[in-house]
A and B are shown apart, each in its own frame.
Chain A
């Protein structure tokens, strides 16, 4: 995996900006269930 250079905006800031922008527009989205998170982290 590629190392993220220190100069990038931290991912959580990037995500937060998008969340705020969506909220400002009154748009709602889905969130992952616990099972979906687990599925994405499994190789089986």
Chain B
């Protein structure tokens, strides 16, 4: 058994955590029962690059129950839960992940998974898919979990360099509208609170980006009593933020009044030295986007004359003008670096899309165009049905007359 983790003795604690998550993921339990019988992944190697959290472990259980041999690495150097990784290794998963990997170690872990020559890749951010491309692997198909990965793979496709079909799980309605909104909304606040222990009520809380993640975060920050300011580059999204009742202004203006700043854009250099210089003494900076480039940590280091660690996940930067700003989780996604990522109840929907999309790839092997494609609508609808069922909610269905009415132009 090949694996590399922090400490196998943490497996007991990991198991308890994974069992706890599984209790809140009944949709995955249903799929696990189904896959255990139908064995859709019998003899198939699945390579996964995901945040190694208790929820990911539940997905891995489902894939394993379906017959897969699973190879797993983390999708961020700081997001692995070491006890969960230990439990997975103990349970026979080839896992290469620990919290606090160097960039070099992070790449090594991805290579270990790619070198297993998986037939299916499940990716979060695009690093594994791109490694598989660079190695020229023969992969049947892949899936992509997050906005950043979808943007990167779109660019790859546009250059004509995409070599196997990838399903954009991120873009499924039952993923984006829930995981990105309610997941990021809650877990980002969770990360900020665990790192700082501050009161949010009455604070000026700046949200950069008003996509689904930004919408969720702004909504939850307001719920905690903060005064929320949104910054955007897209006029439609900016207008939406205005009409949702938030203050909207350019970042240079927000920089001067914010107490807390969180980036959720998927882009780079959203908060830079131009903005650090304008900030109040004591401003708190965090990022909840996939890569650690949204708050420019590089420029922050350059602008600082002194840096010290205050406590886990919280560093103080003293700027040359004497003011102090505080960076959470080294500028990496704060919800995973400083908390445990999204709650199980939303991850079960994202991961049900992952499991069903992987099954779709096997079933339609060779018959899918080499493109970045959407999650099939019937999978999306099925995930929503299962989630409602798990919550004991019932809904209406269309009558025959209503269906006919909707299809008629008269």
Contacts and interface: CB of A to CB of B under 8 A. Distances in A.
A30 B154 CA distance: 24
Interface residues of A, number: 24
A27 B267 contact: no
Contact of A30 (B155, B239, B251, B268): B251
B298 interface: no
B349 to A, nearest CB: 22
Interface in A5-37: 14-15, 18-19, 21-22, 25, 27-33, 35-36
Interface stretch (B60-68, B227-235, B306-314, B338-346): B227-235
B130 interface: yes
Given A25-B242, A29-B238, A35-B269, A43 B159 contact: yes
A25 B233 CA distance: 16
Mostly, the B contact residues are mixed
Contact of A39 (B156, B267, B371): B267
Interface residues of B, number: 33
Contacts of A33: 269
Contacts of B233: 29-32
Contacts of A28: 249-250, 253
Contacts of A18: 234-236, 238-239
B156 A43 contact: yes
B126 A39 contact: no
B372 interface: yes
A22 B250 CA distance: 12
B365 interface: no
Nearest to A19: B235
Contacts of A2: 374
A33 B159 CA distance: 22
A27 B242 CA distance: 9
Given A28-B249, A43-B155, A43-B156, A22 B267 contact: no
Contacts of A43: 126, 130, 152-153, 155-156, 159, 161
Contacts of B159: 43
Contacts of B154: 1
B151 interface: yes
B207 interface: no
Contacts of B236: 14-15, 18
Contacts of B251: 30
B114 interface: no
Contact of A36 (B231, B248, B268): B268
A43 B130 CA distance: 8
Contacts of B250: 28-30
6 contacts: A18-B234, A22-B248, A29-B235, A32-B233, A33-B269, A43-B152
Interface of A: 1-2, 14-15, 18-19, 21-22, 25, 27-33, 35-36, 39-44
